[in-house]
Amino acid sequence: MPTYQYECDACGHGFEVLQSMVDKKFKKCPKCGKLKLHRLIGAGSGIIFKGTGFYETDYKRKDALKETSSAKPTSSAKAGGPGGANCCGGGACGR
């Protein structure tokens, strides 16, 4: 259920209420009793992601990370050959 903010035009009293979307709006101010209450438009709470699967690292295999960190460069890599120091690593150049 969303939290709505209300404010009274007569006395300036403001408050928040946890209210269903289908419930009727409050009209009477609980402080002064006048019918000058209106609901404010808020930014909302945003989207909350719970659980795993929302980060890039959640999908990587742990053994694949170990293989890439323990790999030693070959002789062609040292000389600037395929996969060498000048390679971008993206595969666009065919290396």
* Tokens encoding 45: 């709470």
pLDDT at 77: 46
pLDDT at 20: 86
pLDDT at 36: 95
Over the range 11-25, which residues count as b (16 or more CB within 10 Å of their CB) and which as e?
eebeeeeebeeeeee
Bridging pattern class, strands 3-8 and 37-40:
antiparallel
Task: Report domain extents, the chain.
Answer: 3-40
Look at the domain 3-40 and name its fold: Rubrerythrin, domain 2 (2.20.28)
Could you count the other beta carbons within 10 Å of the beta carbon of residue 8? Answer: 21
Residues of the chain with pLDDT under 50: 76-79
Does the pTM of the predicted model rise above 0.75? no
pLDDT at 3: 85
